[in-house]
A and B are shown apart, each in its own frame.
Chain A
């Protein structure tokens, strides 16, 4: 027997009848602390990495957010929402675009109910929609009209300001002299300056004034500006007036509005009929000097877009004629959103002056869209729940027919039929006017729909056993895939029209559609080919052994399986196609990206803010592409394949 150091007790052991209680894991390893340690600080390298990344990330986020909130002028987006969305589509015909959107929404809602097995996602969407419906109006009404200030000065006369006010409101006018440093801030300047051409030069002029104040060329304490402030009605009759003298510069004027109409605020620097206190060394009255803010409160804020002016004309009557000293075509109107904001903004101001107006301008469309979607969703859901088999069959049929007809209907609605018949005719809108997000979505949708069958044909051709057809398919596919999209679009724009007829007739939009469809079809063909290769050859054999001919085999057996297998790749191709529609802007169509060029070229005051426009457009693209990818991932998980796997 070997000598060993084990005592008898170490060799035998019986567990106690009651197992000891489980202990908690050591405190640093689980829970939040544990997760942080494992994920962020697990090793020295990791710790350094975390710190460096945090620093860089914070810097980047800080810079981006401060730029977006304080420096960026989003008015380029806010004032051009309509251009960005539908371009220069005639205002009077916009209802047709809205009709197309309604049609699409209703079909989608029906589709979700009938085809979707995503009840949970639908419920989630519904919940989000309800939340948005509640929040949006709240956010939209957060717009608090800021007081409008504009300037009068000794060296220029302010243009009369025209604005509208409603019955029961109190218009408040005031003179705020700029006689100390605190009042002469950029924050207070939100208005136009007489003599300036447009707002850009207003800013320059104001910067000039500020500079002069800062460098002492203008002495604030020499304020000597008598101002006559008048409130006129639309015909030019004086309703009320007040005089601001250098001794009592701060004056205000309140007027109770009795009916909705236009008003004019006029501020003139008076040099006569006023006792000027100040005299110079030889006793002559000194010339007026200095600047003052004229402040207008409690007036309706509106945009100076032609469509808005139209509406104003209808409600409040003709716009009164005044002598506008500015060359700004729409000058002499108070329009808060058309006024650029100078200098840094606080987050509160950003929310109130830029985010809220944006939300309120898109609010109505978003709310209406949600309501339509929810109503259609609900009706279809109810019909499906409480109807019988034939109801569901009818619903499916209506939905299918609706989807089949969506492209022709959309085209006819957008293009119009022309003609004399008052009931049937729609004013024809040439496709050059289809711009903005409308054009992007149109191009994407039609190319997607057209390229899929074309791609399938090419893929089948490539894989057919017949060498002639196969060779041509391969040549065609590889030729298109080897060329950059822009050359294909170039080809479609310049050469394809000469294939049929003398070349000028073909719609630009149709040319681009041909190019995009061909391009996408070639890539789609490769994707479908991959799916076809996955199908085991035995499927073909079983089908042939049963007596099905090749067309039936393809239609019933091969293609359903192949197409289902390539849904993820196909959806990804569609997202690519959506992004690629941006290239038509190079050729000369003004879709979402191209319309930015139109905006900044046609309205020079927005030229310095073109990056804000690009960021906005980028966000729109991102949101749509991201949603498409997410839907595709969802389809992959819950859709066709999943049910069939064990």
Chain B
């Protein structure tokens, strides 16, 4: 299905509650193809919940989410289709510890995309080279460093050839010296034209690579802007307060 007006992700008045707690309030935003959008905000602002709603890891109660023209409803087919189009990288990596790196990357290829084993492994090796760690293919995740594990996680998500990559605080669990290697991979990914929606605290990344920055607080989108405008000249009080605290 093709998108109608050039937007690959569209959220319209999305509301979500956890029980009584209103966690996403009237969230509306649009992401274009090949765009890199970074979402920042204080903890508890709902930014993780936002991107987890996009691939149905969380369910939204009101509003509509449309990914690549497919609306995210209770329709199983839609949900599966959207999950095929989106790849996700988690804060805790979530690699499968009982499988080798190679098996981690080929598992979904073989059983969801039904690719034959040899093809999956070739693709996996290509991706490992792209993220810079081809020699780790036969090792187990427990034997890799945090930065290496996250890169494997990125490769695993890329193996499904998604149109959109979602990042949920990918570097927050890493030691400082390993953050750079992961960010480099993400930058290369952005340069290659992948649509990316990134929740992060890394302002440097936002400034360098983002096309747009979204600031969320208390479940609302407070401000959206290009990095130049956003960081130099924030409009909303809350944005100014937040930036003054972290920069």
Contact B111 A536 (CB under 8 A): no
Looking at B92, B94, B95, which has the most chain A CB atoms within 10 Å of its CB?
Answer: B94
The yes or no answer to A208 lying at the interface (CB within 8 A) is no
Q: Is the CB of B90 within 8 A of A546?
A: no
Contacts of B141 in A (CB 8 A): 644
Q: A544-B57, A547-B108 are in contact. Are A561 and B88 (CB under 8 A)?
A: no
Of the candidates A546, A556, A557, A644, the one having the most CB atoms from chain B within 10 angstroms of its own CB is A546
Question: Which residue of chain A has the shortest Cβ distance to B95 in the bound complex?
Answer: A542
Complex alpha-carbon distance, A542 and B157, angstroms: 9
Contacting residues, chain A, for B157 (C-beta < 8 A): 545-546
Per-position 1/0 for A475-507, Cβ under 8 A of B = 000000000000000000000000000000000
Q: In the complex, which residues of chain A have a beta carbon less than 8 angstroms from the beta carbon of B107?
A: 546, 548, 556
Judge whether A646 is part of the interface by a CB distance below 8 angstroms. Answer: yes
Q: Tell me if A560 is interfacial: C-beta within 8 Å of chain B.
A: yes
The answer to whether B92 touches A548, judged by C-beta atoms less than 8 angstroms apart, is no
Per the CB 8 Å criterion, the residue count for chain B at the interface is: 28
Report chain B residues within 8 Å CB of A14: none
CB pair A548–B111 under 8 Å, yes or no, is yes
Closest chain A residue to B139 by CB distance? Answer: A644
Does B118 lie at the interface of the complex (its beta carbon under 8 Å from any beta carbon of A)? no
> Cβ of A19 < 8 Å from any Cβ of B?
no
User: Closest CB-CB distance, A642 to chain B, in whole Å?
Assistant: 11
How many angstroms from the CA of A646 to the CA of B98 in the assembled complex? 13
Kindly provide the distance from the CB of B144 to the nearest chain A CB, expressed in whole angstroms: 9
Q: In the complex, which residues of chain A have a beta carbon less than 8 angstroms from the beta carbon of B94?
A: 536, 538-539, 541-542
A545–B86 touching, CB < 8 Å? yes
A646 vs B149: C-alpha distance in the bound complex, in angstroms?
13
Chain B 58-117 residues near chain A, CB threshold 8 A: 80, 83-84, 86-88, 90, 92, 94-98, 107-108, 111-112
* CB-based nearest B residue for A560: B98
A644-B142, A645-B142 known; A546+B92 contact, CB < 8 A: no
A644-B98 in contact (CB<8A): yes
Residue pair B142, A547 in contact (C-beta under 8 Å): no
Does A344 touch B at the CB level, under 8 Å? no
A547 pairs with B88, CB closer than 8 A: no
**The residue from B90, B95, B112, B160 contacting A541, defined by CB atoms under 8 A apart:** B90
Contact in complex: A545, B98 (CB < 8 Å): no
Contact of B57 with A546 in the complex, beta carbons under 8 Å: no
Q: How far is the CB of B53 from chain A (nearest CB, A)?
A: 13
Query: Are A545 and B111 in contact (CB-based, < 8 A)?
Result: no
Q: Once the chains bind, are A643 and B140 in contact (CB under 8 Å)?
A: yes
B240, CB-defined interface residue at 8 Å: no
* Chain A residues whose CB sits within 8 angstroms of the CB of B88 once the complex forms: 541-542, 545
Question: Which residues on the B side are within 8 Å of A552 (C-beta)?
Answer: 111-112
Is residue B156 within 8 Å, beta carbon to beta carbon, of the partner chain? yes
Minimum C-beta distance from B68 to chain A (A): 15
* A 60-86 contacts with B by CB, 8 A: none
Known: A536-B92, A541-B57, A556-B107. A548 touches B112 (CB 8 A): yes
Query: Using Cβ atoms and an 8 Å threshold, which residues of chain A touch B90?
Result: 538, 541-542, 545
Pick from A536, A539, A546: contact of B156, CB below 8 A: A546
Known: A541-B57, A546-B156, A561-B98. A646 touches B83 (CB 8 A): no
In the complex, how many angstroms separate the beta carbon of B58 from the nearest chain A beta carbon?
Answer: 10
Q: Kindly supply a per-residue 1/0 record for chain A positions 612-646, scoring 1 wherever the CB is within 8 Å of any chain B CB and 0 otherwise.
A: 00000000000000000000000000001001111
In the assembled complex, the Cα of A560 lies from the Cα of B153 at a distance in Å of 20
In the complex, A205 has a CB within 8 A of chain B = no
Are B55's CB and A644's CB within 8 A? Answer: no
**With A541-B94, A561-B97 in contact, do A546 and B108 touch (Cβ < 8 Å)?**
yes
Given A561-B97, A564-B98, A644-B97, are A547 and B83 neighbors across the interface (CB < 8 Å)?
Answer: yes
A552 to B90 CA separation, bound complex (whole angstroms): 20
- Minimum CB–CB distance from A471 to chain B (whole Å) comes to 22
CB within 8 Å of B: which of A522-547? 536, 538-539, 541-542, 544-547
Which residues from chain A contact B97 at a C-beta distance below 8 Å?
Answer: 561, 644
Partner of A545, one of B87, B92, B95: B87
Chain B residues contacting A556 (CB-CB under 8 Å) are 96, 107, 111
B143 proximal to A (CB < 8 A):
yes
Min CB distance, A560 to chain B, in Å? 5
Report Cα–Cα, A561/B140, bound state, in Å: 14
Q: Mark B37-57, 1 if CB is under 8 A from A, else 0.
A: 000000000000000000111
Residues A547 and B98 in contact in the complex (CB < 8 Å), given A538-B92, A541-B57:
no
User: Which residues between 110 and 138 of chain B lie within 8 Å of chain A, taking CB atoms?
Assistant: 111-112
Q: How far is the CA of A548 from the CA of B157 in the complex (A)?
A: 12
Q: Is the CB of A640 within 8 A of B92?
A: no
How far does the Cβ of A193 sit from chain B's closest Cβ, in whole Å? 72
Among the interface residues A536, A552, A643, A644, which one has the most CB atoms of the partner chain B within 10 A? A644
**B236 CB to closest chain A CB, in angstroms?**
32
What is the CA–CA distance of A645 and B143 in the complex, to the nearest angstrom? 7
Q: Are B92 and A547 in contact, with the CB atoms below 8 A? A: no
- Once the chains are docked, how many angstroms separate the CA of A546 from the CA of B95? 11
Kindly list chain B residues whose C-beta atoms are within 8 Å of the C-beta of A548: 107-108, 111-112
Complex CA distance for A342 and B94, rounded to whole angstroms: 73
Output the least CB separation between A137 and chain B (Å): 47
A544 touches B142 (CB 8 A): no
Nearest-Cβ distance from residue B183 to partner chain A, whole angstroms:
21
Nearest-neighbour CB distance to chain B for A590, whole angstroms, equals 44
Instruction: Return chain A residues, CB-CB under 8 Å to B57.
Output: 541, 544-545
Measured between beta carbons, the chain A residues less than 8 angstroms from B87 are 545-546
Asked if residues A547 and B160 are in contact (CB atoms below 8 Å), the reply is yes
Q: Which residues of A contact B108 (CB under 8 A)?
A: 546-548
Q: Which residues of A contact B156 (CB under 8 A)?
A: 546
CB distance from A86 to the nearest CB of B (A): 42
Docked Cα-Cα span, A560 to B140, in Å, equals 15
Distance in angstroms between the alpha carbons of A413 and B166 in the assembled complex: 59
**Which partner residue on chain B sits nearest A542 by CB separation?**
B94
Which A-B residue pairs are the 10 nearest by beta carbons? A542-B94, A546-B108, A545-B88, A538-B94, A547-B112, A644-B142, A547-B83, A644-B140, A538-B92, A560-B98
20 A-B Cβ contacts within 8 A?
A536-B94, A538-B94, A539-B94, A539-B96, A542-B88, A542-B96, A544-B56, A545-B57, A546-B157, A547-B83, A547-B84, A548-B108, A552-B111, A556-B111, A561-B97, A561-B98, A640-B98, A644-B97, A644-B141, A645-B142
